[in-house]
Every structure is written in C-alpha cells, then in structure tokens.
C-alpha cells in the first residue's frame, strides 16, 4: 500500500509529509487518503494541543527521575500503558517521550526529566516505558538525540564528546530503545555534537542510528531545532517540527530539482512517515483529533503507587514510620507543605486533573484526633506567585489594543502561553491582548508584582504603570530563553481594598533568533519575612513532630535554564536549622529534581526524597510517612557532598558550563558513581542508596558458570526478609575488570533486580550478564571489546555497599559488531 501511495505522489506531496502542518499535527494528503496525525508532549502526562499552562486536563504521573528511583521496569511499563491511554484521550498517535539524557552535572534544568546518571538503568526503564506505550498502538519518541545534558545555550552549544564516551554512556539508552524496544520515533536534540547540529549529523542519524542499529522509524527535529534544507534531509532527518514548513516545502522542492537532494532521499523519508502512520493504525481508521479529559481510578492508584515506589528514604534515626495512634501535635512546615509541587517546568507541564498537597494528604491521613498546625516559614519560588482569580481577556488585531476586540474570553490564572489564538483572524506575530482582573489583598503591607513576557507587556495597578516589560525588553531566562528576566516592583497595598490589575501584551513578531513564542506570566505576593520564620519555629516548638517540606519547584527545575547551584533556594536551610534546634523530632521531606547539598543533615532525624511524584503527591507522602507503604526508592543519581565533587565541576568553564559555543565532556566515561568510585571522592549518598522499614539478609552471590561464554551467565542472590514488615530489596550487580588494558571505571552497573518480600519470605534475585557487559568501546577497532582475563562480579545494595562477589573468566577476547543485536 505504501509503495502504491508513494508511486502516485508528486514530489511536492512527498515533500509536504516532511514538515508539520502546525504545532502538533502532520500534513495530510487527502486525495490519496493519507490522514494527519497528532503528536503530544510527555513524558509524565499527555498534554495534547493545549498550551503549556492550560488546555484539557490530563493525568499527571511522576517525573522521570522519580521513575528512575523506583528501579522497577515492570511498574514503569504499566505507566507507559496508562500514558498511552492518556495520549489517545488527546487525539494523539505519537507521544514525545521518554527523555533519556544522562545526569551529568547535577545542575541541568531538565535533570528531573531524565532517569539516571547510569546508562544501563536509564536504558532498562526507557525500554519498559516504550514497550508499555507502543503496546497500545501509540508511537513513543525517544529524545533528545544526543548530548543534551545542559540547558545553557542549548540551541547552539556544541557538546564535544569522544566516541568511547558517547558509545558507553550517552548513546546506550538510545541503542537499547531501538534494538530491544523497537521505538518508532527518535527526536534530535537542539545542540551540536562535535560541531555539527544533531538535526543534520550524518554519522549520528544515518551511520549509527540506521545502518549500525537498524532503526527503521522516523527521526523528527525538536521544535524549531532544524536549521537547513538539504543538510537535514541528506543526514536522515525525516520530519521538521513544528509546521508550517520553514526549511522544507518549496525550498526542498527546489533543492531536489537543483540536485542538492536526491529524489530517492525524499521518497525514503516520506516512506518512513507513511510507515509510522501505518504502525499507529491511521490508515485503518483516521484519528479523531478531538480532546477530552480522562480521569481513571486505576490511573490515580498507579500514580500513588509509583510515588511511594520512587520515594527514597535517605536518613532515618528510628522516627519513621510515624505511628498515627501515638501522635499528638503535628507541625507541617515549609514552602512545599501547602503547595502541591507535582511536576517540573517547561514542555513537560500539563494541566493536572487535581493536585494533592502534602498538607492535604497528612490531614486526610490524620483525620481523627491529631492536631495539625501549618506554617510556611519562607518562600522558595523563583518567580513571583502567579496571579489567581477571574479575569477578562480581550484580543485585538495589531499591536496597539485598538478597535473592538476580535475575541473575548475569561481565565483564572495569570499565565498565558499561546500555541493557538482564539480566532483565525488573529495573526500570532501581530496581535495584542488585554487582561483585566481585580486583586484584594488579605493583609496590608508591601506587595511585589512581577511579570515575564515573550513579547512586550506592561502591568498597571489602578491605572498606574507598575511593571514595565516593554521599554528596553531583551531576551532572558524564561520560556526557553524567549522571555525577559522577570521584572518586579513592590507597592504598598491595603487589606480588603479592591485593586484593578491590567496587563497589556503585544506580540513581538519574528526576531530571527531561533524559537519565537508568545507568552506572558504575571503575579503578586506579599513577601515572607522574619515574623513568618519565627511563626514556623514556634509552631515546631510546640509539636511532637515537625514535618518540614522543602525543596524547589517547576520554576527552578525547568527546561530553558540550568540551576545556579546545588543548595536549597531562599531561606530554606535557615528554616531547617531553626526548626531542628527547637524540635528533636524533625523530619525533612525533599522535593527536588536532582541532588542537593545538605549542611543541615546531622541536625534532623529523617530525610525523605519525594522528587515530583505527580498529582497524588500528598497521598504518596502520607502513605510513606505513616508506614502504610514502604519507601521503595533507591537513588538513581549520586548525591555529592558539595557541587565541586561532581566530575563536571572542575573549575574549567570549557567543561561546564561551556565557552565560545563549546562544552567539553572532559571527564569522559567517569560520570556519577564511576567518578566517585574511581577517583576516591566520597559522596553524601551513593548511587543506588535508599533505606526501608524492614531488614534483609543476603546469601553470597553465585554464578551459573565460572567462564563467560557467548550465551552469557546468571548470577543469583537469595534475599530473606528478616524484619516484621513487607518490603523491597534492590540487588545491583556491578562488573569490575581485574586487569584492564585501558583506563576503566572501578566498577559499572550491568544488571539489577528488585525483590518484594513478606516477613520471613525468601526470594532469589537472578541477574543475567553477557559478553558485552564485560566490555568497553575501543575507538581504534570501532567496536565494543572485552579483553580476555578475570572479572569480578559485585552484588551490592548500592555503589558503596558491596555484599559479596564472585570472580569469572573470559577465556578469549570478545569483540562485538556494530549491528550485533545481543546487547
């Protein structure tokens, strides 16, 4: 059928398939029965075609680092199945997920969107996610291919990575997704790889991806991430997104007729697009692109289970789990207590069905006689709290708010990110909007108004210009680098008085600087000060236990900018110190998208890392704190004692954050625990670390053979739950070459198994290894290579806790082939 369609297509029609129709859909060819399909952002939900901050509600699942902390591929596969259902509810056939870039620096703004610092753990979870999604007839899109481990100058930065490091660390998850999961789509990254944009990188897209790995799906650009016509097509980029065409269309037709692109290259790319449509069933039944909310009880239950499964108990001096019956006064404190920080920022955002805050979850769990008192203590938001309340939004043609509005609508949140405008008469590059609302402060005093805008905007309070985002506007660090730095101004407001707030916004039009977006966000808040800190301390002093919820939110952990450091923002460290000084039973619950420094660690009784676990946050937190379920998580990323202990933080700006458009991955394969173990840098918490509520005994590891053969071998460890609660234990298997012929990490994760056991129950962790698990990538022979000799297999609870080992031998050197599918 596909050959018949291609034979009947004109060159122009084939070319039309190679660009999007708009932001989210492909181009149909109606005369030949080729339908359009829709794609939707992931990876922790399916947003549909709505804006980043609005649209049809969707189920909000845990972010990727929280999934990495589960070390549970079976559960992640179930999530993939559920998210495929969410994608269908948004009329989408393609999900833009998973993200498998590696945790390199600890400061990447999208660290939360990625699974782990380890490529093997990343690969196993990505394969499970993809298999779940694609089992439901939805195509998964693995991203970002490749070398996108920072948000700094991400649209132009060259990630300079040697081939061994690429093959062993950064490409492995993509390789396994192709060979093991049969992923249907790959998204190229924004950055350059060794000087060449990945969207036009022949070695990456054709030599490695298609010829070596055998990938037969489509490669699409990240949004606005392609830059040329002939170079992208010739390199193997099939789909330019979003549409309408920028560098394809008539430009590509001319390139074919001028001999810059062979007609066969266009036909092959069009074939791959048509094959994708066939694989997702679009020819059998044209997709219904309409959207609706899908709020299923089984999704709610799965999100709650995943939240607890990924919760990592980092410290516990016997205080957890809390006994509900014995609790009297409970202090719930901190900026993340009453706010439900359920997801990170950027393109991963969705309009969640609901958000359960920790305070809500604890109140529900302690609904009997327990006394709960709340105090925020301080704030941790990067941007001023967004405006909340009913407002009138008027849209005008042109940029001067003149004439009658073309469209009028209402909104209840002061953030607008326009992919689509409410009327076809409005030109996205030449329109204006006026938002009118009223604000009634609860308290008198200084209030801060803040605004950031991709475009030009002014904010007025009772007719007075308060925030000027118009004059002197320049690009800054918001909305993927398309909006200015947030402009702030404080004014005195009187409690109970009604103030008119008006924001006038106009589009900037194309600037020729990469991505151009239209967005505005404005807010108001009364700053918290010493009195609020003192209130929190007094609340803690009077309580039997102080539950302190701190961390970051999606304004910090977000696409478009890296973190400034690895410390808790604002006055949160001071809050922890002061609360712990007056209450010996202080439990810190963290929500961050990656590691943080903990100078206060020795002063608190327990630390629980919850990440951003989705809409059931409060329920999952309460489940773990009160022992209804086990904290099942183990760290997917090393927590260093200080930022300078990270392998990328050498003090050389060419290594991080980059200089003159290049960032050197000078640490090579020594990323995360590979660096800490090999270089003798003691971490705060090692890779794979996590505590539970029960105890286990381990048998010594046993190998099924003393020699590694081509068929591989199995290592088994018997685990017995010797405690009085049901719980899980994670067995990690590392490989250590005893006489390496090249510099290699001290040990590398090659397999893992999570065992769930009732009290007194014994189970067996079976871990399978093959010859490639002993190998490194040899740049001279361009192949994975394992030298003959002895290897130690280490059964470990985490990278710093080796429980037993067994030595095996590889009798003769093993050399893999690029096309070898036994990975």
List residues with catalytic annotation. 222
Instruction: Tell me if 388 sits within 8 A of 414, measured CB to CB.
Output: yes
Structural contact between residues 539 and 333, judged by C-beta atoms closer than 8 angstroms: yes
Contact call for residues 515 and 557 (beta carbons, < 8 A): no
Signed CA dihedral, 229, 232, 233, 239: sign only: negative
Rounded Cα distance, 33 and 106, in Å: 48
Nearest one of 671, 676, 629 to 648, comparing CA atoms: 671
Instruction: Tell me the HSE value of 606 on the side-chain side, using a 13 A CA sphere.
Output: 27
Least Cα distance to 785 among 771, 769, 795 occurs for 771
Q: What dihedral angle (degrees, nearest 10) is formed by the CA atoms of 198, 203, 206, 212?
A: -130
CA gap 300, 169 in Å, rounded? 34
Q: Which helix (H) or strand (E) holds 785?
A: strand 783-786
User: DSSP letter at 222?
Assistant: P
User: Residue 342 — φ and ψ, nearest 5°?
Assistant: -100, -15
- Alpha-carbon separation of residue 172 from 129, 299, 562 (angstroms): 16, 30, 24
Of the candidates 186, 121, 190, the one whose C-alpha atom is nearest the C-alpha of residue 149 is 190
By 3-state DSSP, what share of the chain in percent is helix, strand and coil, each rounded to 5? 25, 30, 50
DSSP 609: E
| Structure-token pair, residue 688 | 């794979």
Given the structure tokens 């009329």, which residue do they identify? 91
The answer to whether 453 touches 422, Cβ cutoff 8 Å, is: no
- Tell me the three state secondary structure of residue 788: coil
Contact (CB, 8 A) for 351 and 58 = yes
Rounded to 5°, the CA angle 705-710-712 comes to: 45
Task: Please give the Cα distance from 67 to 72 (Å, whole number).
Answer: 8
Specify the DSSP class assigned to residue 699. Answer: P
HSE value, Cβ hemisphere, 13 Å, CA-based, for 147:
31
- Could you tell me if residue 472 is left (phi over 0), alpha (psi between -120 and 50 degrees) or otherwise beta? left
Q: With contact defined as beta carbons under 8 Å apart, do 640 and 684 qualify?
A: yes
């Amino acid at each position: 059928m596909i050959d018949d369609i291609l034979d009947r297509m004109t060159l122009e029609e084939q070319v039309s398939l190679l660009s999007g129709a708009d932001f989210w859909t492909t181009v149909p060819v109606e005369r030949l029965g080729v339908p359009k399909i829709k794609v939707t952002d992931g990876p922790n939900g399916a947003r549909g075609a709505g804006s980043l901050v609005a649209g049809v509600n969707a189920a909000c699942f845990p972010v990727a680092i929280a999934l990495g902390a589960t070390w549970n591929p079976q559960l992640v596969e179930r999530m993939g199945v559920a998210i495929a259902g969410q994608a269908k509810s948004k009329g989408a056939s393609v999900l833009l997920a998973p993200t498998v870039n590696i945790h390199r620096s600890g400061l990447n703004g999208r660290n939360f969107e990625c699974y782990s610092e380890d490529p093997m753990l990343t690969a196993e979870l990505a394969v499970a996610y993809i298999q779940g999604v694609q089992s439901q007839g939805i195509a998964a899109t693995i991203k970002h291919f490749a070398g996108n481990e920072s948000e700094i100058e991400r649209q132009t930065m060259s990630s300079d990575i040697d081939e061994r490091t690429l093959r062993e660390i950064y490409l492995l998850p993509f390789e396994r997704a192709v060979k093991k999961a049969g992923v249907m789509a790959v998204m190229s990254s924004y950055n350059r790889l060794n000087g060449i944009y990945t969207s036009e990188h022949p070695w990456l897209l054709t030599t490695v991806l298609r010829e070596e790995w055998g990938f037969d799906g489509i490669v699409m650009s990240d949004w606005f991430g392609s830059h040329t016509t002939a170079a992208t097509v010739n390199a193997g980029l099939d789909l330019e997104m979003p549409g309408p065409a920028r560098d394809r269309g008539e430009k590509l037709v001319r390139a074919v007729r001028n001999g810059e692109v062979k007609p066969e290259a266009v036909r092959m790319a069009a074939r791959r697009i048509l094959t994708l449509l066939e694989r997702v069933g679009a020819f059998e039944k044209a997709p219904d692109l309409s959207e609706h909310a899908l709020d299923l009880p089984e999704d709610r239950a799965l999100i709650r289970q995943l939240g607890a499964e990924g919760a990592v108990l980092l410290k516990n001096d016997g205080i957890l789990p809390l006994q509900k019956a014995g609790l009297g006064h409970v202090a719930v404190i901190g900026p993340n207590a009453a706010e439900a920080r359920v997801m990170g920022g950027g393109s991963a955002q969705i309009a969640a069905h609901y958000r359960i805050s920790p305070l809500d979850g604890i109140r529900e769990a302690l609904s009997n006689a327990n006394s709960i008192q709340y105090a925020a203590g301080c704030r941790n938001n990067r941007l001023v709290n967004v405006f909340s309340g009913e407002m009138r939004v008027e849209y005008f043609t042109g940029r001067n708010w003149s004439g009658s509005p073309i469209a009028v609508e209402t909104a209840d949140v002061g953030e607008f990110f326009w992919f689509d405008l409410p009327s076809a008469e409005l030109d996205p590059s030449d329109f204006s909007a006026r938002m009118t609302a009223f604000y009634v402060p609860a308290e008198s005093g200084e209030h801060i108004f803040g605004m950031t805008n991709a475009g030009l905007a002014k904010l007025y309070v009772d007719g007075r210009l308060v925030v000027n985002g118009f004059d002197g506007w320049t690009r800054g660090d918001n909305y993927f680098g398309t909006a200015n730095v947030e402009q702030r101004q404080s004014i005195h407001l009187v409690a109970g008085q009604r103030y008119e707030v008006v924001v006038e916004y106009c589009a900037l039009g194309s600037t020729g600087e990469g991505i151009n977006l239209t967005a505005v966000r404005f807010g108001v808040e009364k700053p918290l000060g010493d009195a609020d800190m003192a209130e929190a301390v007094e609340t803690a002093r009077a309580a039997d236990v102080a539950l302190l919820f701190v961390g970051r939110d999606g304004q910090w952990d977000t696409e478009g900018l890296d973190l400034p450091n690895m410390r808790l923002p604002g006055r949160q460290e001071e809050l922890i110190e002061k609360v712990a000084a007056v209450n010996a039973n202080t439990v810190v619950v963290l929500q961050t998208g990656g590691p943080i420094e903990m100078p206060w660690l020795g002063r608190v009784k327990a630390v629980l890392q919850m990440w951003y676990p989705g809409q059931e946050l409060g329920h999952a937190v309460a489940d773990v704190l009160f022992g209804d379920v086990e904290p099942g998580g183990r760290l997917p990323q090393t927590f260093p004692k200080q930022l300078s202990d990270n392998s990328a933080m050498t003090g050389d700006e060419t290594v991080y954050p980059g200089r003159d458009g290049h960032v050197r991955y000078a640490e090579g394969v020594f990323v995360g625990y590979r660096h800490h173990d090999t270089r003798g840098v003691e971490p705060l918490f090692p890779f794979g670390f996590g505590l539970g509520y029960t105890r286990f005994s381990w048998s010594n590891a046993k190998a099924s053979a003393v020699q590694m053969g081509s068929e591989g071998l199995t290592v088994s460890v018997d685990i017995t739950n010797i405690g009085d609660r049901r719980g899980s234990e994670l067995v990690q298997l590392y490989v250590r070459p005893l006489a390496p012929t090249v510099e290699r990490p001290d040990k590398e994760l090659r397999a893992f198994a999570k065992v769930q056991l009732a009290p007194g129950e014994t189970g067996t962790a079976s871990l399978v290894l093959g010859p490639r698990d002993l190998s490194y990538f040899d740049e001279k022979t361009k192949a994975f290579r394992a030298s003959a000799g002895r290897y130690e297999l280490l059964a470990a609870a985490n990278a710093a806790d080796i429980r037993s080992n067994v030595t095996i031998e590889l009798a003769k050197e093993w050399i893999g082939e690029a096309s070898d599918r036994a990975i």
